[in-house]
Amino acid sequence: MGKMTDEAKENMAMGMKAMRAVDAYLTAIDGKKPGRKIDRAALELKARNEKNLAHKAIFISQIHDAIRREEWALKEQELEDAFLKYAPWFSEHHGIQYAVWREMGVSPAVLAKAGIKS
């Protein structure tokens, strides 16, 4: 598929803006139809359902966060292992002292493992 022309991009953008405007307007006027009764039970059910959805979304988000933390812990170990392997050479060849590594946030324990001393 070739590149989109500027005109096609403008038409697509206009279509999205128009769709949002029409949808917003129709949604707004739908709630103002004359004679439309508000069913309290239906509103309460809707509120409970939305609350349940919010709880589910929070729970799913917490699960994803836990997965990301676990993945990061594994990745962090890989990164640390590579640092330990190459940092001594890098320090020597670039004249990087212990204090610079500390300023960059490298822990004393990691520097000790790498053999980089103050």
Domain limits at 9?
A: 1-36
pLDDT in tens, 28-68: 766 666 666 667 887 788 888 888 888 888 988 999 989 98
Residue 69 forms part of a structural domain? no
Residue 76 forms part of a structural domain? no
d(CA 3, CA 16) in angstroms, rounded, equals 19
DSSP conformation class of 115: T
Residue 23 forms part of a structural domain? yes
Residue 22 forms part of a structural domain? yes
Residue 45 forms part of a structural domain? no
> What are the DSSP calls for 54-110, one per residue?
HHHHHHHHHHHHHHHHHHHHHHHHHHHHHHHHHHHHHHHHHT--HHHHHHTT--HHH
Other CB atoms within a 10 A radius of the CB of residue 101 amount to 21
pLDDT in tens, 61-104: 999 989 988 888 888 888 889 999 999 999 999 999 999 999 99
Structural domain count, the chain: 1
d(CA 89, CA 96) in angstroms, rounded, equals 10
